[in-house]
Structure formats: C-alpha cells, structure tokens
C-alpha cells in the first residue's frame, strides 16, 4: 500500500475549501428546488472568478456566504451550529487527528443535506492521522502501476508517493464511481478534496484526453457540446454517466450579461484555470 502525506496547514485548507464548496452546493440545491415552483425564475447572481484567501479570510468568506444563503433560504439556519463548530476548530492550530474528526463530522452533515456521500468502507483508500500529518493510503489496485508511474515514487521514503499518482488515483476513482452509479465514501471524498487542493496549488493531471473518434465508428454519431464556465460541469455534467453520453464537455464563459460592460469582463473567454483542472480530473477517460 502506498501513501500520500499532507501537512497540517494544507489539511486546514482542504477542510475550509470543502466548507466553501458545501455552501455553494447548498445554494445550487435550494435554487433548483425554487425553480421547480417558480416558472419565471432568472439567475441573476454574477459569475466571479475564484480568489485566494488566507485562513482568516476564508473563514470570513464562509460566514458571509452562509449568512447570504440563510437570507435567501431561512431553513438553512439550522446548519449554523455545525458550521460554527467546524470553523472554531480549523481556525486555530490543533492536532491533525482533531481536524480529521471535524472533517468526517462535516461530511456526515453534507451527506444528510446533499445525499452525496455514503458512510461505508473505502476499498481503495484509507486515512490515517497523527499530531502533524494526514496520510492518504492508496491500494495499488486503483490504477495500473506501470513503470513510468512507479518511477514517480520518491526514493528513500518507502511507499511515499507524489502528486501525479494521487491525482491519477482520484481520477480513476471518480470514473469508477460514475460508471458504477455509486457515491463516494467519506474517505474517498477526502481523497478527492486533497486532490482538489493539489490542483489549487498548480499541480496537474498528466493523462491522455478521450478522443472523439470517427463518424460511423463510434457509439454516438452526433455530439452535443455543453458549454459552461466549469462549475456546472462539476455540479452537474460529470456527476453521472448518463449526462455525459453523447456530450462534449466544453469549458468557456460565453457571455458577460447586461450588468457588466466589456471593460469589466470579456465574453467568450477561458474561465478559472483551477476550475478547468478539477473538471479534467473528474473526466478521466470518459
């Protein structure tokens, strides 16, 4: 079994970024519920590029985003004790074991609200924590360990693996879950979030893209290009194999809206590179 090591500071960022994404997930979920009853609904929330936050700024942004959600959807106020408890632990330095417990407690809350996780054993991943470090253990059955990948294992550090193998392992996991119509376990989801943190730091997945194939020799003859700045692909397109059948996942921002002139934001532009990287990891070979 091979393992990836994450220090205390980076693990804190993993938890905080997941909390931010959880709040965004809640906004999407509650908005979709609203749309079902409101036939005249129009999305007016402007698109904003992701920003880099310090830990203190990230905690402030989480509170601001959550309060905004509660203003729009008052029933979300019951989540405040859970979010406050998580922020209280992560805002100060504690043992990584404490962070891991807080992380799993938050996953349980996410699973309850979003129905996005399963509380089960992860067959290919295991999380182990001590005072200073988190270790994500990866069984070698999750990906094909060819000579090139094995060469990435750091010499002199036993089974300690590098960024590329973790990213490939998580990409393979996401593809497997999609094909099996399965939700990630808590530990699998933690591995996914750690991979997202690596992408935030500028690490990239090195892997061939899926070719379109030739007309007449592929299962779908006419593809539909689904264009989105990226968040829609993360929250929707790449979640199920059914949504990806006959689809080209196209990442681009097509318009700026009537509220922004060209001096503020260009139409037909590439959005956040980090968001593109997350979509790439989710796609794997599909």
Residue 81 sits at the vertex; the CA angle it makes with 80 and 87, to the nearest 5 degrees, is: 85
Distance CA 176, CA 122 (A): 13
- Helical packing angle, 163-179 and 273-283, nearest 10°: 60
pLDDT of 113 = 93
With CA atoms as reference, report the closest residue to 3 among 210, 201, 142: 142
Measure CA 285 to chain center.
18
- Give the pTM: 0.86
Q: Is 143 exposed, middle or buried (0-12, 13-18, 19+ CB in 10 A)?
A: middle
Q: Which of 51, 53, 83, 49 is nearest to 66 (CA)?
A: 83
User: Do 125 and 138 meet the contact criterion of CB atoms below 8 Å apart?
Assistant: yes
- 194 closest CA partner among 171, 217, 176: 171
* pLDDT values of the chain reduced to their tens digit, one per residue, 286 residues: 678 889 998 999 999 999 999 998 999 888 888 777 666 766 666 666 677 788 889 999 999 999 999 999 999 999 999 999 999 888 888 899 999 999 999 999 999 999 889 888 767 888 999 889 999 888 755 654 454 444 444 433 556 677 888 888 898 888 888 888 889 999 999 999 999 999 988 888 877 777 777 778 888 888 888 888 888 888 888 888 888 888 888 888 776 666 666 676 677 777 788 888 888 888 877 7
* Burial track 96-116 (b if 16+ CB lie within 10 A, e otherwise): beebbebbeebbebbbebeeb
């Amino acid at each position: 079994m091979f393992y990836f090591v994450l220090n205390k500071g980076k693990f804190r960022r993993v938890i905080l970024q997941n909390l931010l994404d959880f709040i965004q997930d809640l906004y999407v979920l509650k908005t979709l519920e609203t749309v079902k009853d409101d036939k005249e609904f129009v999305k007016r929330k402007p698109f904003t590029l992701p920003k880099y936050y310090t830990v203190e700024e990230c905690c402030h942004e989480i509170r601001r985003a959550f309060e905004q959600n509660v203003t729009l959807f008052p029933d979300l106020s019951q989540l405040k004790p859970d979010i406050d408890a998580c922020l209280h632990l992560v805002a100060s330095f504690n043992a990584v074991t404490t962070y891991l417990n807080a992380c799993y407690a938050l996953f349980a809350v996410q699973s309850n609200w979003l129905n996005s996780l399963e509380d089960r054993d992860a067959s290919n991943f295991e999380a182990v924590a001590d005072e200073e470090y988190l270790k994500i253990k990866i069984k070698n059955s999750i990906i094909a360990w060819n000579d090139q990948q094995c060469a990435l294992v750091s010499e002199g550090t036993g089974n300690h693996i590098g960024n590329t193998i973790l990213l490939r392992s998580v990409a393979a996991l996401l593809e497997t879950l999609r094909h099996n119509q399965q939700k990630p376990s808590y530990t699998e989801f933690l591995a996914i979030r750690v991979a997202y943190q690596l992408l935030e730091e500028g690490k990239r997945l090195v892997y061939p893209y899926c070719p379109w194939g030739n007309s007449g020799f592929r299962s779908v003859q006419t593809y539909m290009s689904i264009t989105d700045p990226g968040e829609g692909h993360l929250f929707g397109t790449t979640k199920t194999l059914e949504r990806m059948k006959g689809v080209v996942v196209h990442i681009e921002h097509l318009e700026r809206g009537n509220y922004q002139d060209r001096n503020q934001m260009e139409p037909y532009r590439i959005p956040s590179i980090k968001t593109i990287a997350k979509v790439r990891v989710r796609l794997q070979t599909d």
